[in-house]
Amino acid sequence: MSQLKGGPPTRLRRASEDERRPDPGDRAAPPVRLAGLGLAVPPHELSQLQARRTAERVFGGRWPDFARLATSFETSGVERRYSVAPLDWFETPRTWPERTALYLESATALFVEAARNALADAGLAASDIDTIVTISSTGIATPTLEARAFAAMGFRSDLHRVPVFGLGCAGGVSGMAIAARLARAAPGSNVLMVSIETCTLNFRDDRLSKADVIASVLFGDGAAAACFTTGGDASAPAIGEGEEHLWPDTLGIMGWDVDAAGFGVIFDRSIPSFVFKRLNV
């Protein structure tokens, strides 16, 4: 409850879902368009064969089940990926401070490269950006990555910053939905979304688990950026309304365990059946 000076108390009311959702026929709510895209990958390219051989050296002699799981390197469909560190970096036990230091350095660099590429594709300058949505779940940065990239990018000092942590594999598409909503709420503004993940930094040689082997099979590092606006080229792709859904009792399916060494991946064996059942695949 709030009270205006000299007047009666004013009770704030939560808007209904219909009130919050823009009317597609309302000319005051122009469509949000994708103005530009940009990508960035780190310097170390890893073939799947290289990744398997490294995993064999790290896991093979200590865990009898590794040989059975190692076939996933061939059946995953992954041919190559990129890493912020060379392969030999992963053969030495790493502390959380070491992982975090490399995350801050490499994720900031990936942010800058992906953002610059997206801005160039959109024909925008960094000073044209009004809002930044930064997505990352594979490291912790405070101040956040867009603040660390501020000087290199040349953003305005009155920039709106929206850092988002914890969305995991859905981070990119969820970040696009967030950015589109913010652009829609401020017609004429330019919103930049940057998603950065450095999954390889969370490779754990101290945890002999199926989840850690499968993570070493699948994940790499990189960044992607997108510019959104309600102005610009009318032929650019329009972004529709995104939707999200939370299922109860699913906290243990995917995520992070956090311990003294850093993040430890959680992959429950129920993931495939959950996807087929809940998403009607």
Question: 34 - beta bridge partners?
Answer: 228
Q: What pLDDT shows up at residue 27?
A: 53
Q: Answer yes or no: are the C-beta atoms of 45 and 221 closer than 8 Å.
A: no
List, run by run, the mean pLDDT of 10-residue segments along the chain (281 residues).
Answer: 39 42 56 96 95 87 83 92 94 92 98 98 97 97 97 97 94 94 95 97 86 90 97 88 84 90 88 83 58
Q: What pLDDT shows up at residue 281?
A: 58
Structure-token pair, residue 232: 């610009």
Residue for token pair 């920039």: 159
Q: How far apart are CA 141 and CA 163, in angstroms?
A: 10
pTM for this predicted structure: 0.86
Domain ranges of the chain: 33-231+254-278
Q: How far apart are CA 155 and CA 208, in angstroms?
A: 44
Closest CA to 100 of 142, 139, 149, 145: 139
Q: Answer yes or no: are the C-beta atoms of 133 and 175 closer than 8 Å.
A: yes
Side chain identity at residue 174, one-letter code: S
Q: Answer yes or no: are the C-beta atoms of 12 and 1 closer than 8 Å.
A: yes
Q: Is 227 a catalytic residue?
A: no
Q: What pLDDT shows up at residue 23?
A: 52
Question: 53 - beta bridge partners?
Answer: none
Fold topology of 33-231+254-278: Peroxisomal Thiolase; Chain A, domain 1 (3.40.47)
- Where would I find the beta strands (DSSP E) of the chain? 2-3, 9-10, 32-40, 44-47, 80-83, 131-135, 160-164, 190-198, 221-229, 238-239, 254-259, 262-267
Q: Answer yes or no: are the C-beta atoms of 50 and 134 closer than 8 Å.
A: no
Three-state secondary-structure class, residue 190: strand
Q: Answer yes or no: are the C-beta atoms of 40 and 198 closer than 8 Å.
A: no
Q: Which of 120, 169, 170, 238 is catalytic?
A: 169
Q: What pLDDT shows up at residue 41?
A: 98
